[in-house]
Amino acid sequence: MVKFGNIKSKIEEKLLESYSKNTFKSEMKNFKSFVLGNKNVSKLFYLYDEMSSNKGLNESIVSDYIYECITIYENTVNKIDDKTINNLKKWVSDINCDNKYENIDNLFSTDVLTIESRLKSKKIISENLIKSPESKKTETVNLPLSTMVNIANKTFSNYVESLNESDKKELINFLKTDESELEPQFESIKNEVKTKLNSLVESTTDTETLNKVNETITKVESETFNKLNYFKLKNLNENL
């Protein structure tokens, strides 16, 4: 049986490594071809992301939610042919990493010898689904990854694609910087941006422009520290 969580873990690790190896652009092409280009593979990617998230579900419905996820998995994985799976495995054959989705793989297993393991994994998954989403800052290493591989939200990949080659190189080098050097500066830059935006509000009479500036202020106020947010905020500050 295919352990899709193991493949997904390797794909995410490969994408993450592409930052330091300067192969991000080529690996994103592979990602778009092997994952986004296949509706069933992309559906499983999204399903695993959903099942590994803290969603704040009510305890009374979490079992039904998991049952529906199992049904979706079974109806989807059977539509993925061996050639597609082999292409995915070949792409990440050089990657060695832990399976971050082992509990989900266990839950989806049909092996009668793993019933106890499935029950334990179901309990862990249920507890995570019941937990409310964390409001604290996202781990730096996870933010670009999660936004890049989330099928429903390609914000990060779209942002990177919009950069010119010089800015892309700057971003890649920037992502290697120790976050302890950057975090103390984040709030300062954030306050500078808000001050500049508030000045624009005071000097703007055009309604459409005013709405956009206010939307930007709201977004800036809600941002928490991570390298990507720092990079975008820094660029915004320099261009205001």
- Domain ranges (residues) in the chain: 4-135, 156-239
pLDDT value, residue 211 = 79
53 and 133 Cβ atoms separated by less than 8 Å? yes
pLDDT value, residue 175 = 67
Question: 61-68 contacts: CB < 8 A, separation 24 or more?
Answer: 62/126, 62/129, 62/130, 63/126, 65/129, 66/107, 66/122, 66/125, 66/126, 66/129
Residue 160 CB partners (closer than 8 Å, separation 6+)? 24, 28, 168, 171
pLDDT value, residue 147 = 36
Q: What is the pTM of this model?
A: 0.58
Tell me the per-residue pLDDT of 73-98, one tens digit each, with 9 for 90 and over.
999 999 999 999 999 999 999 999 99
The tokens describing 27, both together, are: 């690996």
Q: Report residues of the chain scoring pLDDT below 50.
A: 136-155
